[in-house]
Every structure is written in structure tokens, then in C-alpha cells.
Amino acid sequence: MNTRLNCSALLAGLTISTFLALPAAAACLKVIGTEGGGTSLTMDPAFNNLNDDSYQQNLVFNKLVNIDANFQPVPELAKSWSVSEDGKTWTFVLEEGVTFHDGKPLTAADVVYTFKRLIDPATGSPGTPLLSFLDPAGIVAVDDHTVAMTTGDVVAELPLLVANKYTMIVQDGATSETLKSTGVGTGPFVQDVYDLAQDTRIFRKNPAYWRAGLPVAECIDLKVITEEVSRVAAIQAGSADLILSAGPAALTTLKDDPTAQPVPAAGAGGYMTLSMQTDAPPFDDLRVRQAMKLVVDRQLVVDTVLLGNGIPGNDNPIAPNNPMAFRSDTLPRDIERAKALLAEAGYPDGITVDLNTADAGPGYVMLAQIYQQMAAPAGITVNVVNNPADSYWDLTWMKTPFFSSSWNGRSVPEALAYTFISSAEYNEGRWSNAEYDALVTAMRIETNDEKRVEMVKRAQEIITEDGGIIIPAFFVDTAVLRTGCSGYVPHPSAAIYNFETLTCAE
């Protein structure tokens, strides 16, 4: 590859193309993302990191099993599945007539390869720990259209757990080197122009898409604009057709604007946290933790930080409006009780804590500031430490006693385990509760739905009362469609995007 500065070649190319100029791709729908990946962008599902990766990967790939707005499994490339008598073997039957963008038909071998590659530590994927329950030897292609997954222990909700953002199905034999910039999948759109230098990404309709009649759009032009004012300007000027996630300020600006239609997600997705490490003073004392939680005015957080685009949280990862929530009302604020608890714990004159935050996620700094104000009347003096955003994740997150964080929407079993069991890699609270761990293990193998729901509720109760994580609010993501466009609803999980039915009247 010629690596010399080729300005002259570029200029020559531009000149030539003037004469061969194709008409501008007028039929491409302009989709605007909010969180950009820049040069770290990847087409490789195994290395899906930022939302920008999800935007493009969701256009080009399908998963075996996908997740709906209620975080229930829905068939995708697997049209059906069943579990064996002993509960340890799940069998997935694949759709027929599915082909990759290069014409190669989808077979069980591709599914087996995808999962084995993910589990293999040599790949180096961040998704490897999520699939620790799978045994590579137990993933077998029964025949061309059937895949079996056998696990050592019963995994009651395996279909849900194999539907995370890393598990999009790639071709058998695809390597990390090629997948970084070229995604050959079975998805509704085909990668066409992928020019990171010019920041241009165009995806064309897959004519052989296995879902008949879809996608509706001819092509999608994906771009990330980090400036909210510029995104708003784009919609108002008619240059953008869809903004994937509009911030609270943008929604306020576009509220009465006839050129834009806000489209809220069907359910609550991710949540914000203020995480306390429970293995050292002062947060090792349950009373202190409870006091820290009691000062929170959850509705106020939703009204200010999220400007109403959210749902109050009850300090556990299941949103109160979820049918499996252990309580649907909002935990009340109680300053007196907080003071009393602190006094009991040995802090009659209050307590001083450092809260580490950064502009590394939506609303982090604002939440920290609001928390500082909410905690003051109870004698809790919060010192907000605003760290630089780009080093927050390597230097501050999970390395200080009290810090900001947030998590994407997930299915219930994943949410309860991912950051809360004592052995979790991302156990932000350094929390260890034996009853909780046992419950999570038990619910994983519990095949009786009613019993499992009971366990889920009890688990939430334990987190809320004993855990070290303050969860004051859930995000309700809202997209904005240009008037005249339709067919898009944001998914509560920020890693799932469905562009199949997006269309715009001209």
C-alpha cells in the first residue's frame, strides 16, 4: 500500500470525478448519531465498544436471537428454539434461505464460528466474560440449519444471554483484521461507502434480505454529529431525517417545531448510578449506605438532569415500570431518617465524602451536582471532583470510593448479574452478599417461571436495601424524526437499532 502523502493523487482524483460526477445520492436517508467513534470505529461485533459501533453493526448484521423492547428474546436468525429435558442443551433452528451480502448462504457453521471466536480468549473480545457460561466444545452444528449449545449447568434463560451486542453473526472464518473495516453480514443493509477520513458511511439496501419486503429505505447515510446545536440545525433545515438520540435540551428546542417529531423508546433502558464501594469505610456500614440513598429526590433528578425524559429509579437495575419490578412506586426521600442513621453509625455531625465524576457520560456531572445539593440537608457534605473525561474510565471509574457511572439497558438476568454478583468483573460496589449470589445462581437454573419471578423480586429488594449503588433514574431514549419520516422506534438498549422500516416521504 502506498503510504506517501498523496495530495496530488487526491486532487487528480477529484478533478477526474468532476467529469464522471454521479448525481448526489438523493434517495439516501440521513441518519445522525450522537456518540462518535472516530478512528476507533469497528465493524467487528466482537469489539463493539461505543454507540457508533452499534449504529453501523446493526445495519449490516443480524443476531441469532434478538431482544425486544421488554427485554424478552425474539427470533431473528434463529426462527425457533427448544431446550432438552435436562435443561442443559438448547437447540436453535435457523431460518432458511438466508444469505450473506457476498452471496454465501448462512449455515450453522457460521453461528458456531461466531460464538467460538467470542469465547476464545485469544480473540481478546470484551464480550468474552459475558459468555462464560458457554463451553466451546458444547457449541455444535447439528446440521446445516441447526445449532446446539450444551452447557455444564442449566442456564434457564440462555436464549436471552446469547443475545448481547457482541453476538452478531459473522461468516465462518472471518478474521479480526478484515472485520475491523469490512462487515459482511446477513443484515438489511450492505456496507457501501466506508470512508472514515471523509467521515462518510453509506449503506445500501440488501436486495436479498431474508425478511421479505424489508428494508424499506433504499440507502442509509450515517453520520455522527457531536454538537447538539448542529444536530438540531440539521433537522430544522431538513438535512437530517433521523436523530438517533436527542438530548433533553434538543427535545426542549424541538418541542413545538413542526419540522420534527420526537419518538420516545417503548420502555426505560439504561440507568445512571452513583456507586459506593462497600468494602471500606464509610460505605462498609449499611446505615451509611442507606442514609446516602435516603437523601435522593428521584423525581427531581428526572425533572432536571433528564428534563422529564426518564423514570425514577429505586436503586436497583430493574425499572419500576417493568412487570418484574419488586415495587412500582418511587422510594421516598427522608432526610430525618438519613440523619438518624448517620448518627447511629457514629456520624452525629454528618459526614464528608468525595464524589468522583466526569463529563464521560450523559448527565454525570449534573447528577453529581444535584446529589451534592440533595445530600446537604442531611449533613452529608459532598465534594464533587470533576475529572477529565478521556481518562475517567482508566483512572477513576471503579478505582475511587464514590463515583459516577451508567449502564445500558439489559435483559433482567443479565442486569442482575453483570454488575452485582460478588464475582462480577464490573462489581462497581465491591459488594458481596451471599444470599444475593445464591439467588442469582438459583434463578439461572430455575425453569419454573413463577418461582423465578419471585427470586427476581427478592433479588431487587436485596440490592435496594443492602447494595452500594444509588440508581436515581432510568433514561428513556428519544429519537427525533423529520416530519414526513416514519418507521423508527428507538430501542431501550443503546446497543440495538432497527432501521428496517425507516422510510421518508419526499
Partner 1 sequence: MSFVRLIIARLVASVLTLLLVSVVVFTGVQGLPGDATARILGREAPQEARDRLRAELNLDDPLVQRYLHWAGAALKGDFGTSFASRQPVTDYLAPRLANTLALSGLALLFYIPLSILPAIAQARRPDGPLDRSITVLTVAILSAPEFLSATLMLFAFAVIWPVFPPMVQLTAEMGWPAYLHALMLPALTLGLLLATYGVRLLRESLLEIYRSDFVRMAEFKGLSDRRILWRHVLPNALIPWMNATALNIAFMIGGVVVVEKVFAFPGFGSALVSALQLRDLPVISAGVMIAAAIFILVNLLADIGALIANPRLRSRQ
Partner 2 sequence: MSFRTSTPAALQWGLAILLLHGLMAVLGPFLAPYAQDQMMAGLPIQGASLGHPFGTDQMGRDIFSRALAGGWIVIGLSVAGTVLGVLLGSAMGLFSGTVGGWPDEVLMRLTEAFLAIPFLIFALLIVSLAGPGLQGSPWLLIGVVAAVYVPRVARMSRAAALDVVARDYVLAARLRGEGAWTISRREVLPNAMGVLLVEFAVRAGYAPILVGTLGFLGFGLKPPTPEWGLMMAEYRNLLTTQPMAVFGPGLMLATLVVGLNLFTEGLSAMASRGSAGRTP
Tell me which of partner 1, partner 2, none is bound by residue 370, counting a contact when its beta carbon lies within the kind-specific cut-off of 5 to 8 angstroms. Answer: partner 2
Phi, psi of 473 (to 5 degrees): -160, 155
Per-residue b/e over 408-429, b at no fewer than 16 CB within 10 Å?
bbbbbbbbbbbbbbeebeebbb
Beta carbon of residue 256, minimum distance to partner 1 (angstroms, whole number): 15
Residue corresponding to grid cell 449503588? 469
Under the binding rule (CB under 8 A), the answer on residue 17 touching partner 2 is no
CB 143 within 8 A of CB 153: no
Q: Write each residue from 361 to 400 as x if it is in contact with partner 2 (CB under 8 A), else as -, in one continuous string.
A: ----xx--xx--x----------x-xxxx-x---xx----
Tell me which of partner 2, partner 1, none is bound by residue 3, counting a contact when its beta carbon lies within the kind-specific cut-off of 5 to 8 angstroms. Answer: partner 1
Residue 506 in grid coordinates? 419526499
Tell me which of partner 2, partner 1, none is bound by residue 465, counting a contact when its beta carbon lies within the kind-specific cut-off of 5 to 8 angstroms. Answer: none
d(CA 77, CA 63): 6
Four-CA torsion 358, 363, 366, 371, nearest 10 degrees: -100
Handedness of CA 9, 15, 17, 20 (dihedral sign): negative
Of residues 339-368, those binding partner 2 (CB under 8 A): 359, 365-366
Contacts of 270 (CB under 8 A, 6+ apart): 406, 407, 408, 409, 474, 475, 492, 493, 494
Q: Which is nearer to partner 2, 228 or 465 (CB)?
A: 228
Under the binding rule (CB under 8 A), the answer on residue 400 touching partner 1 is no
Beta carbon of residue 391, minimum distance to partner 1 (angstroms, whole number): 5
Beta carbon of residue 58, minimum distance to partner 1 (angstroms, whole number): 17
Of residues 79-108, those binding partner 2 (CB under 8 A): none
Q: Count Cβ atoms below 10 Å from residue 38 Cβ, excluding itself.
A: 11
Per CB under 8 A, the segment of 367-375, 387-395, 458-466, 493-501 that binds partner 1 is 387-395
The closest alpha carbon to 44, from 203, 172, 178, belongs to 178
d(CA 275, CA 57): 31
Q: Write each residue from 174 to 213 as x if it is in contact with partner 2 (CB under 8 A), else as -, in one continuous string.
A: ----------------------------------------
Q: Which is nearer to partner 1, 180 or 457 (CB)?
A: 180
d(CA 341, CA 293): 11
d(CA 70, CA 477): 14
Task: Provide the binding-site residues for partner 1, judged by CB under 8 A.
Answer: 1, 3-7, 10-11, 13-15, 17-18, 20-22, 24-25, 36, 38-41, 47, 49-50, 121, 124-126, 128-129, 177, 180-181, 193, 195-200, 202, 221, 223, 225-227, 229-230, 233-234, 236-240, 389-391, 393-395, 397, 425-426
Task: Provide the binding-site residues for partner 2, judged by CB under 8 A.
Answer: 228-229, 232, 247-250, 252-253, 300, 303-305, 307, 359, 365-366, 369-370, 373, 384, 386-389, 391, 395-396
